[in-house]
Structures are given as structure tokens and as C-alpha cells.
């Protein structure tokens, strides 16, 4: 069963999704500052997003919804293709290691 998140109707829906890739990184979380609250008065109301610049980063950045730039379909395609290529190389390395290991076991 998929988890469900309920958002009050008067908040509006976020423009971005969890794990969505953007020009600034991957969205790991989001939160809302409702109009009329102290945080909204101090920082502005609306959705805010927590982004990690890349999967190897230990940094987390926070952006307002209007500060986030989505990737173009071409940029997204390039990112995903590069990640697939990286993991395919890792799989090939591991397969070679397994081959050496099993050949050594068969000859020993």
C-alpha cells in the first residue's frame, strides 16, 4: 500500500515531489509555512523544500518553491543515463571479481 499524505485544501499542493531531481539537487523533504504564522511572517508563507546537492553530499539546502529550477527533460535524461552508465560499470567490475573468485575456487 502506498503511503498517503493529506494536505489541507487551503494550503494548495506543492509544485515538486519527493525525490524529484532539480538543478539544485534532489528533493528529500518539504514543509509548509501557513499564512498568518510567525514563520510565514518572518520567511514568507508557502512551501519550502529540503534538497541534497548530490547523493554523496552531507549538506542539505532549503529553498522556497519559487527558487527551485526544474530540470529540462534533456537534462533529466542525461543525469539518469549517466547514473545508469556508472552503475553498469560497477556491475561489470563486480561480475569480473565473481568470475575470478569462482575460477579460483574451481581450480583450488
Number of domains in the chain: 2
102 in the same domain as 86: yes
pLDDT of residue 66: 94
pLDDT tens over the chain, length 108 residues:
777 888 988 898 999 999 999 999 999 999 999 999 999 999 899 999 999 998 888 999 999 999 999 999 999 999 999 999 999 999 999 999 999 998 877 776
pLDDT of residue 108: 64
85 in the same domain as 64: no
Q: Model's pTM, two decimal places?
A: 0.78
Give the sign of the dihedral formed by CA 49, CA 55, CA 24, CA 81.
negative
pLDDT of residue 87: 96
Contacts of 82 (CB under 8 A, 6+ apart): none
Q: Say if residues 54 and 76 touch (Cβ distance below 8 Å).
A: no
Q: What residues make up the domain containing 86?
A: 72-108
Q: Smallest Cα–Cα separation from 65: which of 4, 5, 20, 7?
A: 20
19 in the same domain as 39: yes
Amino acid at each position: 500500500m502506498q503511503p498517503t499524505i493529506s494536505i489541507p485544501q487551503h494550503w494548495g499542493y506543492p509544485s515538486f515531489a519527493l525525490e524529484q531531481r532539480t538543478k539544485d539537487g534532489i528533493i528529500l523533504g518539504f514543509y509548509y509555512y501557513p499564512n498568518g504564522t510567525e514563520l510565514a511572517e518572518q520567511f514568507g508563507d508557502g512551501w519550502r523544500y529540503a534538497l541534497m546537492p548530490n547523493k554523496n553530499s552531507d549538506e542539505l539546502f532549503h529553498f522556497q518553491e519559487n527558487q527551485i529550477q526544474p530540470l529540462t527533460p534533456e537534462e533529466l535524461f542525461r543525469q539518469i543515463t549517466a547514473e545508469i552508465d556508472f552503475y553498469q560499470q560497477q556491475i561489470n567490475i563486480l561480475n569480473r571479481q565473481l568470475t575470478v573468485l569462482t575460477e579460483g575456487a574451481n581450480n583450488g
